[in-house]
Chains A and B, each alone.
Chain A
């Protein structure tokens, strides 16, 4: 594609993809009279942080904290459990391709099919509204993801290196920790970031399993959508707060984005 058509397409696309983000950020700085006006006011006259303070009272920062805790722990646990598993699948070839695929298939399940049974199970354990409930359910999609991705990263490590290490008398454990892991470290970091983002964005399990104590962002936001009043300013503020850390992480991880999003199918 050449010349001006190309720039027109890119320009239009940029406006389309960035406008909603810009709009919600602008909304978070507007006065109610500005976002509740017809026709809408585009630029806030006196940008202010009122809504950012208001969400403190309305559980916004608690939700931010909860989401951070759940996402971090989910990521950590997925990596700790999933990486050895992936290595085992890649190098020891346990269960062949089928087992790997079995793990991955859980990433594809619609969460709603598990949400209901899981709710009943956690209810009898008294785990409703606890961090472990959210983390465990988030593992159902992050763990298969880590296993599948890390399996492909481990496969990229030339087997000759590991074989020569074995000849030098390294144990399997040493090969795993001293050679395979360091060599696939960038992949590991990328996978971790993706786990974090998936967990960060999750809605359904949060909706079903959280009540007051561990409410995540995705569940807190709809609560500003009241019967009498839509708190657009608060929605804008909390949305902005929810986007910024992830944007930073993503830009940092750009190199692995494609591979991560296609489950390693496209490198």
Chain B
């Protein structure tokens, strides 16, 4: 009797959330599954069943394949840099000092800025004529610099990376700092007694003990970078050429600029499959 009420309550608690997800994620996905086997171009009337043609075409679509490469390049450089810089700053923040709280609080701000806004902020900073970056460089180098950061592939990447590093390194700082703070003090002090240098302390004690927290942080950032869209949208729109088109951005273009409905559905599915595999493989670790 009690167990029945128990179960009833348990299920009523879960049901609404379950239904929402079902309605807004699963149902549309099932619907678009059928679309992914169709040739449907919104600009022209008529749909036609074409079997796996969209999928085959996707794997021959150079821009689609390259968008994986672009995403990968960005992912590794962004997450790597964020970790490195975040770690250094977290170390610097480890010990208390005057205004410690205020400084830590200030570091948080970028995380909460709307990514589109972050993109525009940096676009303005990188602006060839009106941007402060070129101005500072001009002063330092004693000549007029009007470098177009976003017009060259390599510096466009650099700009995107800087923007994302700006926005998300604070996350790394906070997480790693939390990890550092919880390290047992006595181990560190003992090492110091034994005359370990700063670098030895980091390499032999801090890094191994920080592994779990670091894994979590890197994992979360990687999964987020995999869907990189907002900054690209605000800063480069995939340019110059198509050299900074990420996976999300390319799919967006197909669906909402070129209106290739069937094809977009199949691209979405491929992306979904790949991301799901990554999530399944890596994410189980999160709660360990």
Contact = CB atoms under 8 A, between A and B. Distances in A.
Interface of A: 1-2, 6, 9-10, 13-14, 16-21, 23-24, 27, 35-40, 42, 81-82, 84-85, 87-89, 92, 94-95, 97, 99, 101, 103-106, 108-121, 136-137, 139-140, 143-144, 147, 172-173, 197, 200-201, 203-204, 207-208, 217-218, 221-222, 225, 232, 235, 239, 242-243, 246-247, 249-251, 254, 257-258, 261-263, 265-267
Given A117-B28, A143-B20, A254 B108 contact: yes
B124 A24 contact: yes
Nearest to B122: A20
B132 A114 contact: no
Interface residues of B, number: 102
A105 B276 contact: yes
B124 A23 contact: yes
Contacts of A6: 92
Q: Provide the main secondary structure of the chain B interface.
A: helix
Interface stretch (B49-57, B149-157, B166-174): B166-174
Interface stretch (B4-12, B58-66, B72-80, B183-191): B4-12
B268 interface: yes
Interface of B: 5-7, 9-14, 16-18, 20-21, 23-25, 27-29, 31-32, 35, 85, 88-89, 91-95, 103-118, 120-122, 124-125, 129-132, 134-135, 138, 146, 166, 169-171, 174-175, 177-179, 198, 213, 216-217, 220, 223, 226-227, 229-230, 233-234, 247-248, 251-252, 255-256, 261, 264-265, 268-269, 271-272, 275-276, 279-280, 283-284, 286-287
Contact of A218 (B16, B114, B213): B114
Contacts of A111: 227, 229, 248
CB-based closest 6 A-B pairs = A117-B28, A88-B13, A117-B32, A92-B10, A110-B227, A84-B13
A114 B26 CA distance: 9
